[in-house]
Structure 1
């Protein structure tokens, strides 16, 4: 449980950095994402999940 909460904390820190450093850029990126077809967004989500899974696999083996 401690590891899960630590990972969640790190994720929140990493997710918050772009919003803190350049909120206007993030708003522009989100606006551009609104016009993308859903299949592109799903592909980006799948790619992120597979990349995360690969990273965990390589680290935890």
Structure 2
């Protein structure tokens, strides 16, 4: 298996950009949102994480189908 390091680094950079957007745009609201997330039960957080993983995989699959 040959790893394309430039693609991996670009993907990590893009993930950081997307992670940073809500903090930049909604800086005043983020502490309240994070506090509400902190009191959620683990089952809910796992569900949200699973949904994020599935959406991410669908987006990756869609993007790869465009480049074929």
**Shared fold (TM-score greater than 0.5)?**
yes
Deviation at 1:22, TM superposition (A): 2.4
Larger RCO (CA within 8 A; separation ≥ 6):
1
- SS of 2:29's equivalent in the other structure is helix
How many aligned residue pairs are there?
61
In structure 1, runs of 5+ residues without a counterpart are none
Which of 11, 17, 27 is the equivalent residue of 1:7?
Answer: 11
- Larger radius of gyration, structure 1 or 2? 2
Which of 29, 53, 58 is the equivalent residue of 2:33?
Answer: 29
Normalising by the residue count of structure 2, what TM-score does the alignment of the two structures yield?
A: 0.79
| CA distance in structure 2 between the aligned counterparts of 1:3 and 1:31, rounded to whole angstroms | 34
Normalising by the residue count of structure 1, what TM-score does the alignment of the two structures yield?
A: 0.86
TM superposition outliers: structure 1 runs of 4+ over 4 Å: none
| CA distance in structure 1 between the aligned counterparts of 2:55 and 2:44, rounded to whole angstroms | 16
- What RMSD in Å do the two structures reach over aligned CA positions? 1.2
In structure 2, runs of 5+ residues without a counterpart are none
User: Does residue 45 of the first structure (1) align with residue 52 of the second (2)?
Assistant: no
